[in-house]
């Protein structure tokens, strides 16, 4: 899905190549231009990629060849970097944990979401077949990795009723008990660092090369596709298997046979985000 979204966003720029080309006008340029090509070179079929990342400035064979080459090169890079990002995302999700969650009666609060850094995970499989691809991949991996770490550190449980049984527990100590599954979107977080505008701005700044071909459009489409996928992922991912436990200080049978858990703690095991 990220590949499709990224290509659609890039295509929306309707970039014509070669850049800035205009049909020669007047005499002699206007007459000399068509005479410079053989009949077979004057009209060629443009790339059928859908959506096309680039458009030929004309149907001249050399313009179409340029379009096809750029479509292949940038299309391959977008596919590769999106695959690398999604692979890192999947690895992170399978290893992420939550710790330090405080449990009082039915309520869970606070905590910290922890997972492996994304930057090396993305770079492990990102496109790196040329110096330009290395520069683009390194920039994208670094910025998304930093942005994700910032979002991750902002995630907390905002006082959710995760442990109904802990309101009146018949034991001096509640054993590890899984939470009520909850959408990740129900937890508090600050997603500004993984927004399209912020990611693109930081990518452009970190690359630091205003002459790099089509980097603005490339970073914009990757950042935009990433934000859209994040916005879909957040409410559809469930927080599960957060094991809560804690003492029941008022438990005193036979006079007080049940009591609430107080000052308990909870931890999500790896694989709890599903």
Which segments of 49-130 does DSSP mark as H helices, in order? Answer: 61-95, 118-125
Per-residue pLDDT, averaged over 61-90, amounts to 95
Kindly give the pairing relationship between strand 242-247 and strand 173-177: antiparallel
**What's residue 34's pLDDT?**
66
Indicate whether 261 pLDDT > 80: yes
Mean pLDDT, to the nearest integer, of 119-137? 97
Residues of the chain with pLDDT > 70, as a percent, come to 92
Tokens of 166: 């802990």
Query: How open is the CA angle 256-247-95, to the nearest 5 degrees?
Result: 145
Give pLDDT tens digits for 44-73. Answer: 777 787 889 999 988 788 789 999 999 999
For residue 30, pLDDT over 60 is answered with: no
Assess whether pLDDT exceeds 60 at residue 265.
yes
Given this model, what pLDDT does residue 71 score? 95
pLDDT at 49: 78
Average of per-residue pLDDT values in the chain: 93
Q: What is the pLDDT of residue 25?
A: 65
Tell me how long the chain is: 274
Q: How confident is the model at residue 237 (pLDDT cuts 50, 70, 90)?
A: very high
Judge residue 57's burial from the number of C-beta atoms within 10 Å of its C-beta, 0-12 exposed, 13-18 middle, 19 or more buried.
buried
As given in the structure block, the two tokens for residue 168 are: 């009146």
Rounded mean pLDDT of 26-30? 62
C-alpha to C-alpha distance for 114 and 92, rounded to whole angstroms: 9
Distance CA 7, CA 138 (A): 20
| pTM for the full predicted model | 0.90
Tokens standing for residue 153: 């550190």
Beta bridge partners of 101: 110, 266
More confident residue, 42 or 124: 124
Q: How confident is the model at residue 26 (pLDDT cuts 50, 70, 90)?
A: low
Average pLDDT score over residue span 248-271: 95
Q: Residue range 132-138: average pLDDT?
A: 97
| pLDDT for the residue numbered 231 | 98
Question: What whole-number distance in Å separates Cα of residue 262 and Cα of residue 167?
Answer: 9
Query: In whole angstroms, what is the distance from residue 98 CA to residue 272 CA?
Result: 9
From the number of C-beta atoms within 10 Å of its C-beta (0-12, 13-18, 19+), residue 61 rates as middle
Partner residues linked to 99 by β-bridges = 112
Residue 177's pLDDT is what? 97
Q: What is the dihedral of CA 58, 60, 64, 66, to 10 degrees?
A: -100
Residue matched to tokens 């029941």:
248
Report helix, strand and coil shares of the chain as percent, to nearest 5. 50, 20, 30
The whole-angstrom separation of Cα 239 and Cα 268 is 8
């Amino acid at each position: 899905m990220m590949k499709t979204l990224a290509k659609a966003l890039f295509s929306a720029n309707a970039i014509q190549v070669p850049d800035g080309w205009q049909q020669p006008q007047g005499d002699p340029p206007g007459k000399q231009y068509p005479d410079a090509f053989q009949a077979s070179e004057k009209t060629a079929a443009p790339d059928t990629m859908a959506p096309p990342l680039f458009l030929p400035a004309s149907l001249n064979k050399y313009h179409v060849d340029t379009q096809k080459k750029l479509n292949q090169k940038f299309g391959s890079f977008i596919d590769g970097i999106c695959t690398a990002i999604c692979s890192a995302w999947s690895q992170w999700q399978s290893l992420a944990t939550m710790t330090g969650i405080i449990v009082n009666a039915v309520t869970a609060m606070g905590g910290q979401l922890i997972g492996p850094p994304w930057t090396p995970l993305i770079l492990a499989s990102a496109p790196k077949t040329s110096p330009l691809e290395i520069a683009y991949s390194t920039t994208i991996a670094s910025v998304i990795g930093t942005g994700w770490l910032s979002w991750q550190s902002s995630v907390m449980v905002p006082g959710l009723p995760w442990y109904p049984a802990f309101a009146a527990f018949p034991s001096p100590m509640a054993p590890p008990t899984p939470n009520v599954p909850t959408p990740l979107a129900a937890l508090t977080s600050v997603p500004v660092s993984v927004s399209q505008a912020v990611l693109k701005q930081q990518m452009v700044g970190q690359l630091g090369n205003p002459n790099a071909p089509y980097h603005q459009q490339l970073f914009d489409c990757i950042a935009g596709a990433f934000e859209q996928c994040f916005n879909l992922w957040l409410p559809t991912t469930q927080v599960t298997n957060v094991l809560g436990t804690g003492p029941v200080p008022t438990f005193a049978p036979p006079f007080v046979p049940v009591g609430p858990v107080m000052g308990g703690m909870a931890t999500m095991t790896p694989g709890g985000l599903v």
